[in-house]
Amino acid sequence: MAPPPPQPAASKALVTGVVSFYLVAALAMVMANKWVLNVTPAPLFFLTTQLFIAVLLFLITDTLRVLPERLQFDLKVIRGLGPMVGLNVLGLSFSNYTLKYVDASFYQVARGLVLPFTVCVSGLVLHTRPSLRILISCAIVTMGFFCGVFLDGTPLSLVGVFFGVASSTITATHSVVIKQSLNAVHGSTILLSWYTNLLSIFILLPIVMLGEGTSVLKLLFGVDELITPVGKMSPFRTFILGSLLTGCMGFMMSLASLLSIKVTSPITHMVSSAVRGVAASLLGVWLFHDVITGGRASSIAIILGGSFYYTWVKHKESEAPKGDVAYERVKMTDLESGQKPQPE
């Protein structure tokens, strides 16, 4: 069976618009999540509530015929989305736990291994061999991560660092699996986002009931509302307001994230995430009074520098002559594995 013809590369205007939309939505999501997680003892219940609000928004927009295509519920499609939904739940859960245990300004460092892991996963799945310069960029990013962990100069949560590394692994795998999962919904990012949010709730509900039941009861029926000082927002009110805000942002974020991955490469999606992380660090200083030490600032700079160097290397490699054997091998491998070729 002949491989499917390559899809035309997205226009620069579309890529720029999608990445910008993703950055704004993701940045707002990180700050709002941190605000709620500072006072919420049940991060998975918070995540489930976000997904539930996103699903409601999907249903409302579908009823009003706002979406360009109708939602559906097909068991055959669901069976093909199992790995992606599982990775989505793990990735969101680990990200929430990372943000709960580390400062917003350290969030970028804790998840700093996304690039090396993405290169490794892309190589394993697409059967491509990274060049020496690609490996050097990954080494630079890895060095930045370890500088932030060991030279930060402020107390760090090892649990938060662990969840950051785990989150990086899942994010790298997820960005590649999403491209494969799009085939199950005929390339529709809206349907993929709808199925992902809906099915993630069913996975999270039993986990929340077994693992966070006591914390949820305390949050919903505790006395914190009565003993909260006048002029300050109680944990319950913070949870409600934060859930509404992040649920709406999550609805836009899920569409923006999937659209970003569809019209760009997994690595471009990763670089936009790195830029978001730097901006989140600066906002963390402003909103949550985080302290950025010399070690933390150096770590962020090294990680960002390695990411930008990688982007420059990929740009140079994409300009290789079309007759280059290695270039053609990569392109054919992309087609055979069902992936969209890297935009040129």
Contact 249, 30 (CB under 8 A): no
What are the tens digits of pLDDT across the range 303-330? 888 888 887 888 788 776 544 434 333 3
The sign one gets for the Cα dihedral 103, 105, 108, 110 is negative
Q: How confident is the model at residue 331 (pLDDT cuts 50, 70, 90)?
A: very low
Task: State the average pLDDT over residues 53-71.
Answer: 88
What are the tens digits of pLDDT across the range 211-239? 898 888 888 887 666 566 666 777 888 89
What are the tens digits of pLDDT across the range 186-219? 888 888 889 999 999 999 999 999 989 888 888 8
Contact 136, 195 (CB under 8 A): no
Please report the pLDDT score of residue 325 as a whole number. Answer: 38
Task: Output Rg (C-alpha) for the chain, integer angstroms.
Answer: 21
| 3-class SS of residue 186 | coil
Provide the phi-psi class of 216: left if phi over 0, else alpha when psi is between -120 and 50, else beta: alpha
What are the tens digits of pLDDT across the range 73-132? 888 888 888 888 999 999 989 989 998 998 888 887 888 898 899 889 888 877 778 899
pLDDT surpasses 70 at 301? yes
What are the tens digits of pLDDT across the range 131-172? 999 999 999 999 999 998 888 777 788 999 999 999 999 988
Please report the pLDDT score of residue 230 as a whole number. Answer: 65
Please tell me what DSSP assigns to residue 5: P
What is the pTM assigned to this prediction? Answer: 0.76
Please tell me what DSSP assigns to residue 204: H
Please report the pLDDT score of residue 133 as a whole number. Answer: 93
290: amino acid identity, one letter: D
pLDDT surpasses 90 at 252? no
Q: How confident is the model at residue 341 (pLDDT cuts 50, 70, 90)?
A: very low
